[in-house]
A and B are shown apart, each in its own frame.
Chain A
Amino acid sequence: MAAIEDLIGELSKLPGIGRKTATRLTYFLLKQPPEAGRRLARALDAVATRVGPCSVCGNLGETDPCVICEDTRRDRSTVCVVEEASDIGAIERTGEYRGVYHVLGGHLSPLDGIGPDDLRLDGLRARLSNGSSVREVIVATNPSMEGEVTATYVRGIVEAQSVRVTRIALGLPVGGDLEYADNVTIARALAARREME
Chain B
Amino acid sequence: MRLTQLTIRTFRNIAALDIELPAEGVVVIGENGEGKTNLLEAIYYLVLFRSLRGAKDRELVRFGDASFFIAGEGPRRVAVGYEIAGRRKKVTVDRVEMKKLADGVGRLTAVAFAPSDRTIVAGGPTGRRRYLDIVLALSEPGYLAALSAMRQALRQRNAALRNGHGDAARAFDAPFAAAAGTVARARRRWVAASAARFQDLCTTLGEAGTCSLLYAPDHHREDDTAGHIEAALRRTFARDTRRGMTTVGPHRDDLRLSLDGRDQRTYGSAGQQRTAAVALRLLEAESLAAAEGSPPVALYDDVFAELDRGRQERLLALIRETLPGQAVVVAPRESEVPRDLLGMPRWTMRGGTLDRP
A35 near B: Cβ within 8 Å?
no
Contact A184 B156 (CB under 8 A): no
For the complex, count residues of A whose C-beta is within 8 A of B.
Answer: 18
**Nearest B residue (CB) for A149:** B171
What per-residue 1/0 map shows which CB atoms of B260-292 lie under 8 Å from chain A? 000000000000000000000000000000000
Contact B157 A187 (CB under 8 A): no
> What residues of A have a CB within 8 angstroms of the CB of B142 in the complex?
183, 187
A34 near B: Cβ within 8 Å?
no
Give the shortest distance, in Å, between B84 (CB) and chain A (any CB). Answer: 15
> What residues of B have a CB within 8 angstroms of the CB of A105 in the complex?
none
> What residues of B have a CB within 8 angstroms of the CB of A145 in the complex?
149, 152-153, 156, 175
Interface of B is mostly: helix
What per-residue 1/0 map shows which CB atoms of A87-116 lie under 8 Å from chain B? 000000000000000000000111101011
> What residues of A have a CB within 8 angstroms of the CB of B100 in the complex?
182
> What residues of A have a CB within 8 angstroms of the CB of B174 in the complex?
149, 152
Which among B103, B141, B149, B169 is the interface contact of A110 at CB below 8 angstroms?
A: B169
Give the shortest distance, in Å, between B129 (CB) and chain A (any CB). Answer: 21
What per-residue 1/0 map shows which CB atoms of A13-57 lie under 8 Å from chain B? 000000000000000000000000000000000000000000000
A84 near B: Cβ within 8 Å?
no
What separation, in Å, do the CA atoms of A115 and B172 have in the docked complex? Answer: 12
**Nearest A residue (CB) for B172:** A149
A148 near B: Cβ within 8 Å?
yes
Give the shortest distance, in Å, between B267 (CB) and chain A (any CB). Answer: 41
Contact A149 B165 (CB under 8 A): no
Contact B167 A115 (CB under 8 A): yes
Contact B171 A152 (CB under 8 A): yes
Given A116-B165, A149-B172, A149-B175, answer yes or no on A110-B160 (Cβ-Cβ < 8 Å): yes
Give the shortest distance, in Å, between B234 (CB) and chain A (any CB). Answer: 15
Give the shortest distance, in Å, between B208 (CB) and chain A (any CB). Answer: 45
Give the shortest distance, in Å, between A139 (CB) and chain B (any CB). Answer: 14
> What residues of A have a CB within 8 angstroms of the CB of B149 in the complex?
145
Within 8 A of B (CB), among A137-183: 145-146, 148-150, 152-153, 182-183
B114 near A: Cβ within 8 Å?
no
What separation, in Å, do the CA atoms of A182 and B169 have in the docked complex? Answer: 29
> What residues of B have a CB within 8 angstroms of the CB of A116 in the complex?
165, 167-168, 171
What separation, in Å, do the CA atoms of A176 and B355 have in the docked complex? Answer: 50
Given A110-B156, A149-B172, answer yes or no on A115-B163 (Cβ-Cβ < 8 Å): yes
List 8 A-B pairs, minimum CB-CB distance, nearest first. Answer: A110-B160, A110-B159, A115-B165, A111-B159, A115-B168, A149-B171, A110-B168, A110-B156
B residues apposed to A, CB below 8 Å: 99-100, 103, 141-142, 145, 149, 152-153, 155-157, 159-160, 162-163, 165, 167-169, 171-172, 174-175
Give 28 A-B contacts (CB < 8 Å), ordered by A residue: A108-B156, A108-B168, A108-B171, A110-B157, A110-B160, A110-B163, A110-B165, A110-B169, A111-B155, A111-B156, A113-B163, A115-B160, A115-B165, A115-B167, A115-B168, A116-B165, A116-B167, A116-B168, A116-B171, A145-B149, A145-B152, A145-B175, A149-B156, A149-B174, A150-B171, A152-B174, A182-B100, A187-B142
